[in-house]
Structure 1
Amino acid sequence: MPEHPIATQATVGTTYRDSEPWWPEPARPASGSPDVILVVLDDVGFGSLGCFGSEIDTPTMDGLAGSGLTYTNFHVTPLCSPTRASLLTGRNHHSVGMSMLSNADSGYPGKRGAVSPRAAMVQELLRDRGYNTAAFGKWHLTPMDQTSSAGPYDQWPLGRGFDQHYGFLEGLTDHFFPELVQDNHRIDPPAAPEDGYHLTDDLVDHLIDYISDHKSVAPDKPYFAYLALGAAHCPHQSHVEYLDRVRGRYDEGWDIVRERRLQRQIDLGIVPAGTELAPRNDGVQPWDELTTDEQQVMARLQEAFAAMLEHTDDQLSRLISHLERLDAREDTLILLMSDNGASQEGGPHGTTNTIAYENGDAVRVEDALAQIDDIGTWRCHSNYPWGWAQVGNTPLKRYKQNVHAGGVRAPLIVSWPARLGEVAGQHRGQFHDVIDIAPTILDITGVETPEEYRGTPQLPVHGVSMAYSFRDEAAPTKRPTQYFEMYGHRAIVHEGWKAVAYHERHTPYSDDRWELYDLTSDFSECNDLAAERPDALHELVGRWWSEAERYGVFPLDDRNFAERAAKYHSAASPRRRRHFILHRGVGRIPAGVTPLIYDRSYRIDATVDITGDDEGVLVSQGDVNGGYALWLADHELHYEYNHQGARRHVSGPAPLSHGQHRLTMNFTRTGPLQGVAEIRVDDVPVGSVELPSTARYMVAWQGLEIGRDALSPVSEKYPREFAFTGELETVEFMLADDEGEEPVYYEPID
């Protein structure tokens, strides 16, 4: 009898009567393996949760701490993509190719903007062992120029071990108008803000439905759910009732609030008695020295953050209640953490336009004051100022992007009632790093990391399991050493000591001054011992260089991500082209794949077939923050360029007959970041407008659409979406080769 094409241990006869059936044994997790939910907050600093000393009302997260363990000496990288790469692989971020963000490939092994296949992710290993896996929310581990419908898809969530994904691929998104992805395709949000939609609600709804499906169909099969919330990354947005709840809470200012948080942290045992409050970071003014207008704007910006975090806590409450209804809470392991410290990306005065920061521009206080009632709503993309960011990191110094404690010490809560009931509510002070989370999950579930995964040799796992600390409060840490690096900032922790160097962008690294702290007695890194202990400092600095060589840190690179994303791309990147033809039916194109129109002349041609009094958007890119749109309305052709809220509009007659026409916007660069936009109908000029300022690196976070403007609207001059009613054949971009001089850099700290 010929060999059967499918491997089997069945005995196959002529009929079933003389045959013996056999069924393959499915992959099964180790006995007692729990359901696992990994919750990642975004840009939530060490001192921002109620159980970490904050006045922000987070009873659900506090309840998780009460039913589990609170880790007070947990560290991450100071930026989102690197933390997520380390979190899911158990390796250091440079080693797996994610030195910075996934928005750029800088051309070096540690700076690819993608996670190496040599580092299998925790969800890949769990799925192979019989777990179901699902991701909800932010990914930000796919190279941004690979996030269009053309892929490739190997670095999307489904390409890296998740059975399902519902969320977004970028580093941030509008929470009322998110650029949603479901599995491997883009979708529109299911509702509008006026109908009560918010991204956090939506993500938790999908996770709740996933758990219901899972428990109904396969109640004995465990799952791994990754809930990577957009909250509380800017833009800070929430429902009006949450904004009303916190109104006036921060009128006292950041100095008083930070002092109160430190006292609560001491009372709760989060920090040791006697911990000092780090001095104000460079550029943070005393609250009392601000003008009344500045205080009003800056208090409102912090209210938006607090409202968003309280709204997030309420959504997590719905999740916990659902687990309890299903009688599934006891044996669900929940890990809740933040990806880095509080953000400095609002600048010294905060901002009501987050894209301005990326382009190196500030928003004037008077402009922010004019928008004050929009802060926290869909009409505004805000971020708080440095003073409130330092409050978020109480009692620490510096912020996200930096490797002082304010950037890398983060909250971590581990809740597992079935296993941690006897130690519920306790704190753990062992030093640990984000690379230790994946090994902890794999240890608990009995999954070993293979030396080879799907034919690819694997990097060693750099992390260690934290499970030893669950029961033993006094156990010495199994992670005595960890290096840090971001944008040239460098640090190392070794056996309770920390050496750290802050790097001024575009200055020689040899000019950086290394500081030395004894973390066993100086929680907030206030007492620099470099002068007193030069021997200890020398040893630690040498150890940093050794660790950096070992884990692929070099070359050091202090260029900001927006410049790298705008200028540096692999040979396969679609952004290297200067000619784009977008055809009818193309889906939303994410910002990381859009034409690089910055500081150069370019032309947009829309070819249409007119069948009547057609109108609508021909092409749009961006949102309320910034962008551009070309559209037809009232027999006129319109163009608007929204530069960080400063709008320039032009219109001209377009009495179009039936048939095919070409509608054009031609931008001529007249100087650095400026030029003239001319609109044409069938190559005949019908209007022009001077653009005195244009985007340096990014016009917007939101992507490009042809035939409509369906999400956060670029212009206020047409109704939302405003789909084109005629036949839009193509939209063509032609880019000239006249890019401007080297960009001016924004220095966030003087």
Structure 2
Amino acid sequence: MPNQEFRGRIGRTYDESEPWWPRETHAADDAPNVLMVVLDDVGFGQLGCYGGLIDTPNIDRLADDGLRYNNFHTTALCSPTRSCLLTGRNHHSNGMAGITEISTGFPGYNGHIPHENGFLSEILVEEGFNTYAMGKWHLAPAESTSAAGPYDAWPLGRGFERYYGFLGGDTDQYTPTLVHDNHQVEPPTTPEEGYHLTEDLARRTIEFISDAKQVDPDKPFFTYFAPGACHAPHQVPEVWADKYAGEFDMGWDEARERILARQKELGIVPDNTDLSPQNPDVERWDSLSADERRLYARMMEVFAGFLEHTDAQIGTVLDFLDEIDELANTLVVLVSDNGASAEGGPSGSVNENRFFNNVPESLEENLDAMADLGGPKYFNHYPWGWTWAGDTPFQRWKRETHRGGTSDPLIVSWPEGIESRGEIRSQFVHAIDVMPTILDVLGIDAPDEVKGYAQSPIEGTSFAYTLEEPDAPERHTTQYFEMFAYRAIYHDGWRAVNPWRLGDEITATDLSATTIEESGWELYDLRADFSEAHDVAAENPEKVLELAQMWWTEAGKYDVLPLDGRGVQRFAEPRPQPGKERERYVYYPGGQHIPENAAVRVFNRNHSITADIRVPVGGAEGVLLAHGARSGGYSLYVKDNHLRYVHNYVGVEEYEIVADDPVPEGDISVRMELEVTGEPDIENGRGVPATVRLYYDDDQVGGGDLPTTIPITMGLTAGLSCGRDAVNAVSDDYRDRLPFEFTGDIERVVVDVSGESFVHEASELDQIMARE
């Protein structure tokens, strides 16, 4: 325990002295372990035990041994919800109105979770628990996720003793950008050797737990297991997807009906629940062509395999805990962070970097990709018709505050601590209630101070009272919702929703409505209408205005203002960046790769890459500088003793320029110069055409023309690395030799960007939003 005064006696010699040891902190003798499992983009109607059409036997096992909640709510977005789960405070109170990549300079929106809002991990580590975080983090300001830090918002800065995962919003499942504690690491094996991130995370979880249990078996743990599944990319070994061949040929319209029927049979929804109305953004399945139905069904098969594969890895962890006799005394809380994701758009996607760069995907090209969907070649996401079905019986989806975006699975299991088995609870519960519930169950009071920071009040309400009392009156009776000015409020069984399209302008006139006709609010009586299928605002105008006013009151309490429904403008607003923009970027070999948001921007501008190298006798080969990934980027490298530059145009085409002469031995500067020769056509997905020249010292040794270049972005999972291709091979020319590390010596690589910086804000916003 900290700050303990020495209570022994110190004399002139040991014989005259009395030793004393500071009192160590120990958890209570009967304290359970805590395992929090956070799924990503999994809708209310996708798990098997919630009526879904996907097999999830291990999650179902948790439900059979514990409780399912059918009235659990999130914020409608990943990072905001995760901040609520770990702090017990509302997302605006955490500065997490959205993801940190779109932060603005207001308290509820700045992307910095205050240290006054202590994490559950920070509390439990001081109560004698081991604390581990695995998988997706996405709770640190975007500008602090490079090697330059600061590290105080990384997992080890917020109370976790060990961490293994990825700091951003998503990553490639086969070639992830991994962080171990506070430094980057490479995946332990390759996709060809069978690597998959979720499996790796399960193994690491077992490793962390067993490392401590074999030394101190009585010490409990808090493990935060957040695999990043089932966020895009939907990637899983083929055998898992093939299990579902033909299972979704009926389409999303019929799937919704089947899911609702199963939900009623399981008692997850009341018998009088109606399907919410037809989503105006979703085409009827029977209106699609045969090829579209074939492709979209396969995309759903891949997602289903991905979710069942994730369930299997959860089962691996549960089985391990059972083997070491810890499962019965482990409090398991399993949730999803928001509703199913519609980020695949109406037609789905096999390469989101084409979308981010305005390069259209064609049905024919995507049909050609069908056989490889789920593998390392593609970054695929299903069409939003399946999103809608995944949120059955609700309307809408992730990002929006109708129940399709905010109502999610919650399962609580603790065999030694909860007598009830396989039951359903219907009290209103919100993500902010999870942390105080865990403290309540553990018998731990929220501290007044954490790490010297006076603590703010916990804003959630413990739902521990529901564990053994199925009919207990709910205690969390009022809760606001807000996401990109899309608003809602719950109060005593009523729910009012005010839809707002991202990017629509908000004016004072819009917000000063005094009548139901002006307000835009919808109203649902959840006591009679579980699914928000019937808007009763017109019949209850006074209730609408009452709840609308209540929303403003709650918004004032929790830093929700100012409302900000802007799209491009919000993204373009200045915010802290990792290092000042400059004309000359110097990179060194080895060490950590540079995240995309901290790397040099070369789009649509003149630039050069100069590498000062030493080539040993007999020659050298390997990457000098690589920026991007399989889905787009550029690489300067040496192969077959010749300097080469490859520009990978969003995974569609690779343009290669090769030097005419071999690279001389000894000390030499090799250089690539790119000169813009025309204008970009951003709206049609084409960057500038350019001429490329290659040099050894000052002698030109090759050149060629690029018909087009990447217009906007390298992609979400891209990065820059010097001396090797550390992320995901930019070029097919050396993909089988990753990381293709340079075998000579590199002193430095300098990227000079003399042209004017180019940013296409609308498309950049699309890219950032997909990281949710």
Length-normalised TM-score, structure 2: 0.92
Deviations 1:215-252 (A, max 9, x none): 22111111101101111111011122212222222122
**Taking structure 1 as reference, are residues 377 and 155 closer, same or farther at Cα in structure 2, changes over 3 Å only?**
same
Deviations 1:286-312 (A, max 9, x none): 111111111111111111111111111
C-alpha distance in 2, partners of 1:183/1:635? Answer: 38
User: Which of 95, 98, 105 in structure 2 is aligned with 1:97?
Assistant: 95
Q: Which residue of 1 aligns with 2:461?
A: 464
Deviation at 1:496, TM superposition (A): 1.1
**Taking structure 1 as reference, are residues 564 and 536 closer, same or farther at Cα in structure 2, changes over 3 Å only?**
closer
Q: AA paired with 2:632?
A: G
Q: Which residue of 2 aligns with 1:530?
A: 537
Q: Which residue of 2 aligns with 1:82?
A: 80
Q: AA paired with 2:22?
A: P
Q: AA paired with 1:350?
A: G
Deviations 1:381-405 (A, max 9, x none): 1011110111111111111111111
Q: Which residue of 2 aligns with 1:647?
A: 653
Q: Which residue of 2 aligns with 1:345?
A: 343
Which segment is superposed worse, 170-179 or 107-116? 107-116
Does the CA contact (< 8 Å) of 2:632 and 2:710 recur in 1?
no
User: Which of 665, 689, 705 in structure 2 is aligned with 1:689?
Assistant: 705
Q: Which residue of 2 aligns with 1:603?
A: 608
C-alpha distance in 1, partners of 2:195/2:760? Answer: 43
Does the CA contact (< 8 Å) of 2:572 and 2:761 recur in 1?
no
Which segment is superposed worse, 379-388 or 452-461? 452-461
Q: Which residue of 2 aligns with 1:58?
A: 56
Query: Does residue 419 of the first structure (1) align with residue 435 of the second (2)?
Result: no
**How many residues matched?**
742
User: Which of 240, 250, 258 in structure 1 is aligned with 2:238?
Assistant: 240
User: Which of 744, 759, 762 in structure 2 is aligned with 1:743?
Assistant: 762
Does the CA contact (< 8 Å) of 1:696 and 1:743 recur in 2?
no
Q: Which residue of 1 aligns with 2:670?
A: 662
C-alpha distance in 2, partners of 1:76/1:500? Answer: 15
Does the CA contact (< 8 Å) of 1:11 and 1:20 recur in 2?
yes
1:366-385 counterparts in 2 under 5 A?
Answer: 366-385=364-383
Q: AA paired with 1:703?
A: G
C-alpha distance in 2, partners of 1:156/1:746? Answer: 25
Deviation at 1:362, TM superposition (A): 4.6
User: Which of 699, 722, 727 in structure 1 is aligned with 2:740?
Assistant: 722
Query: Does residue 228 of the first structure (1) align with residue 226 of the second (2)?
Result: yes
1:227-376 counterparts in 2 under 5 A?
Answer: 227-359=225-357, 362-376=360-374
Q: Which residue of 2 aligns with 1:403?
A: 401
C-alpha distance in 1, partners of 2:360/2:574? Answer: 25
1:143-222 counterparts in 2 under 5 A?
Answer: 143-222=141-220
Which segment is superposed worse, 638-647 or 111-120? 638-647
Deviations 1:600-643 (A, max 9, x none): 44433333333343222222222222222222223443333334
Q: Which residue of 2 aligns with 1:629?
A: 635
C-alpha distance in 1, partners of 2:279/2:705? Answer: 43
Which segment is superposed worse, 6-15 or 408-417? 6-15
Which segment is superposed worse, 446-455 or 73-82? 446-455
C-alpha distance in 2, partners of 1:734/1:107? Answer: 32
Does the CA contact (< 8 Å) of 1:94 and 1:551 recur in 2?
yes
Q: Which residue of 1 aligns with 2:502?
A: 505
Deviation at 1:78, TM superposition (A): 1.2
Deviations 1:471-513 (A, max 9, x none): 1111111111111111221111111111112212332335582
Deviation at 1:535, TM superposition (A): 1.0
2:435 alignment partner, SS class:
helix
Does the CA contact (< 8 Å) of 1:620 and 1:628 recur in 2?
yes
**Taking structure 1 as reference, are residues 313 and 270 closer, same or farther at Cα in structure 2, changes over 3 Å only?**
same
Q: Which residue of 2 aligns with 1:585?
A: 590
Q: Which residue of 2 aligns with 1:433?
A: 430
Deviation at 1:146, TM superposition (A): 1.3
Deviation at 1:87, TM superposition (A): 0.9
Query: Does residue 705 of the first structure (1) align with residue 721 of the second (2)?
Result: yes
Does the CA contact (< 8 Å) of 1:566 and 1:697 recur in 2?
no
User: Which of 478, 482, 485 in structure 1 is aligned with 2:482?
Assistant: 485
Which segment is superposed worse, 628-637 or 543-552? 628-637
C-alpha distance in 1, partners of 2:432/2:356? Answer: 29
Q: Which residue of 1 aligns with 2:446?
A: 449
Aligned-residue CA RMSD (Å): 2.3
C-alpha distance in 1, partners of 2:707/2:473? Answer: 61
Deviation at 1:313, TM superposition (A): 1.1
1:205 alignment partner, SS class:
helix
Q: Which residue of 1 aligns with 2:513?
A: none
Deviations 1:349-392 (A, max 9, x none): 00001234445665221221121111001111101111011111
Does the CA contact (< 8 Å) of 2:347 and 2:382 recur in 1?
yes
C-alpha distance in 1, partners of 2:293/2:446? Answer: 53
Percent identical across equivalent pairs? 43
C-alpha distance in 2, partners of 1:266/1:243? Answer: 27
C-alpha distance in 1, partners of 2:305/2:174? Answer: 15
**Taking structure 1 as reference, are residues 390 and 6 closer, same or farther at Cα in structure 2, changes over 3 Å only?**
closer
User: Which of 541, 561, 564 in structure 2 is aligned with 1:557?
Assistant: 564
Does the CA contact (< 8 Å) of 2:631 and 2:714 recur in 1?
no
Which segment is superposed worse, 193-202 or 101-110? 101-110
Q: AA paired with 1:679?
A: R
**Taking structure 1 as reference, are residues 531 and 196 closer, same or farther at Cα in structure 2, changes over 3 Å only?**
same
C-alpha distance in 1, partners of 2:564/2:746? Answer: 44
Q: Which residue of 1 aligns with 2:574?
A: 568
Q: Which residue of 2 aligns with 1:11?
A: 9
Deviations 1:693-727 (A, max 9, x none): 63435534222111222442222122332222222
C-alpha distance in 1, partners of 2:196/2:759? Answer: 39
**Taking structure 1 as reference, are residues 87 and 661 closer, same or farther at Cα in structure 2, changes over 3 Å only?**
same
Does the CA contact (< 8 Å) of 1:610 and 1:661 recur in 2?
no
Q: AA paired with 1:254?
A: W
Which segment is superposed worse, 638-647 or 497-506? 638-647
Q: Which residue of 1 aligns with 2:680?
A: 671
C-alpha distance in 2, partners of 1:567/1:372? Answer: 39
**Taking structure 1 as reference, are residues 549 and 679 closer, same or farther at Cα in structure 2, changes over 3 Å only?**
farther
Q: AA paired with 1:724?
A: F
Q: AA paired with 1:680?
A: L
* Unmatched tracts of structure 2, length 5 or more: 511-518
Deviations 1:148-191 (A, max 9, x none): 22211111100110000011111111111111111011100000
Does the CA contact (< 8 Å) of 1:648 and 1:689 recur in 2?
no
Does the CA contact (< 8 Å) of 2:659 and 2:701 recur in 1?
no
Does the CA contact (< 8 Å) of 1:710 and 1:721 recur in 2?
yes
**Taking structure 1 as reference, are residues 149 and 241 closer, same or farther at Cα in structure 2, changes over 3 Å only?**
same
